[in-house]
Amino acid sequence: MDTEQILYRLFAGHLTEGLPIEFKQVIEIATHDGVRKLVCGLFALRNYGGGHFIIGVKRDGTVSTPIECPTDRLREISTDAVHRLIHTYASEVFPVEVTFRPDGTNPTVVCIAVPGGVRTPVAVKADRKDGANFVLREGTVFYRCLANGMPSSAVIPWRSWPDQIQTCFDNREAEIGGLLRRTFGEKTLDEIRSVLCGPTRDQEAPPDTQPQPPIPQSRDASLGNVHQFLEAQAARSGEAIREKGGDPTAYGSHSTGAIVVPAVADRQANLPFLNTVMSSNPSYTGFPAWVDSRSFSNPDERPYVIDDGWEAVIRSGWADVTPNEFWRIEPSGKFFLRTAYQDDVDDHERKPTPRTQLDFGLVILRIAERIEVVKAMLRALDARPTSRVFYTFKFDSLRGRTLSNWANPERYISARNAARQDTVTADFDLQLDAPLQTTVEGTHIVANSVFRLFDGFELSRKVTEDLVTRLVQRRL
């Protein structure tokens, strides 16, 4: 995630602590306690999958005063000082980016960005002692986890090891997949895949020569349930946005519904539930899916309970506009999110005229982010690893738009005629403990169902995989 976006949200009062974001009011890097806090926090974020360690901020998200966090303490936390700690104590060295705000002379905040991409857990490689007491012990592995619903950096508990190993596995799988594509090329890989795994969808024989197995009734029923949930919440979102003074017809929107089967048990729409789901959000982007608006300065944008579920109506993070986003989370494991297209409300200098374009890269990133955020929240709610998660995605106001790359100009896409169809819906389901490649496949399927409206265009899976991998490894 871009550090500038993180700092923008912080000073706007829109940033809360979560698993990928840790706040510290003050750290004295010259002390044993300061070294332990930095090593614990940075190593935990690296093992978790990346994030931001921000010094000079209280637990509630407010910036510390100069008395609470003196500027000379912040100036000591230089890039060189942080790198020295990593080289001294990390079993596997990793890069970080240190940013001062407003500047390095009189800073009020220091933000240390930790990248994802960990392939083996980073452990402490050397002891550090304060007299007879250990400050750090060789072999210790730190991790970001939830303690009583609140995020913290600590020695990794046994229940978090599966998530740690899965993160490393996903990163290695992405690296190996990229190597194979660079070595053999996409066409050769399709041929190898066909031999080893059978024909792909594009290679399947006609239905009369190769009939498809029937869809199990339980899956059919679950897809029906998630469709009903999406449509009900789409109607509810329109009402809620109007109640807050917004106009849901003023822009195009992308809606997602998700349910888990079997449902999550023994949860209520209370504060511990909200703390758990909000703190577990991986926050892959500057304004993430199901954004935590509890600290927003406008009380109307903070979450509230209706019909045994938490929901919120907020403004998007891209522009100072009227309310245009709605989310809802239910304790049983139901999720809904409606957001305006960034193409219509962004305040970027390259922004297109509203309702004229759809950036293909943003489509990929938003789909993948929603899949992964739901998975992260369900894991935090202790849903069974073998549970099935059913998603449905709805894109509206597509008619008249052209497919573009305005937000990702470095990625070329040829000109296409405008879409003639206004709305498209696509489904996808996966097992909760499925690897990242399953998310890549689902994202690819859903995105191409949208892209085909533009002269039958289909994006290469290689591009989809690259974007999704960069998203989850925080390398956008």
SS3 for 138-160 is CCCEEEEEEECCEEEEEECCHHH
Quick one: pLDDT at residue 225? 95
* Percent residues over pLDDT 70 in the chain: 90
Q: How far apart are CA 313 and CA 186, in angstroms?
A: 43
Task: Please write the tens of the pLDDT for every residue from 73-109.
Answer: 999 999 999 999 999 999 999 999 999 998 777 889 9
What is the mean predicted confidence (pLDDT) over 223-244? 95
Name the 3-class secondary structure at 401. coil
More confident call, 329 vs 351: 329
Task: Please write the tens of the pLDDT for every residue from 284-302.
Answer: 987 899 999 998 888 999 9
Q: How far apart are CA 378 and CA 375, in angstroms?
A: 5
What is the mean predicted confidence (pLDDT) over 136-149? 93
Quick one: pLDDT at residue 346? 81
179 has pLDDT over 90? no
Quick one: pLDDT at residue 213? 47
Tokens of residue 21, six digits: 């974001």
Query: What confidence tier does 148 reach under pLDDT thresholds 50, 70, 90?
Result: confident
227 has pLDDT over 50? yes
Query: What confidence tier does 12 reach under pLDDT thresholds 50, 70, 90?
Result: confident
207 has pLDDT over 60? no
Task: Please write the tens of the pLDDT for every residue from 399-434.
Answer: 999 999 999 898 988 888 999 999 999 999 999 999
Which CATH number is correct for 3-164, 2.60.120, 3.40.50, 1.10.940, 3.30.950?
3.30.950
Q: How far apart are CA 77 and CA 170, in angstroms?
A: 32
440 has pLDDT over 90? yes
- DSSP for 261-306 reads ESPP-S--SSHHHHHHHHHT----SSS-TT---TT-SSGGGS-EES
Name the helix (H) or strand (E) containing 429: strand 424-431
Quick one: pLDDT at residue 202? 46
Give ranges for CATH 3.30.950 in the chain.
Answer: 3-164
Please state the pTM of the whole predicted model.
0.85
What is the mean predicted confidence (pLDDT) over 38-43? 97
Q: Which residue has the tokens 């059978």?
A: 198
Q: Which residue has the tokens 């935990």?
A: 44
Name the 3-class secondary structure at 416. coil
Backbone angles phi, psi at 20, to 5 degrees: -90, 0
- Asked if 309 and 331 touch (Cβ cutoff 8 Å), the reply is yes
More confident call, 416 vs 222: 222
Task: Please write the tens of the pLDDT for every residue from 355-385.
Answer: 999 999 999 999 999 999 999 999 999 999 9
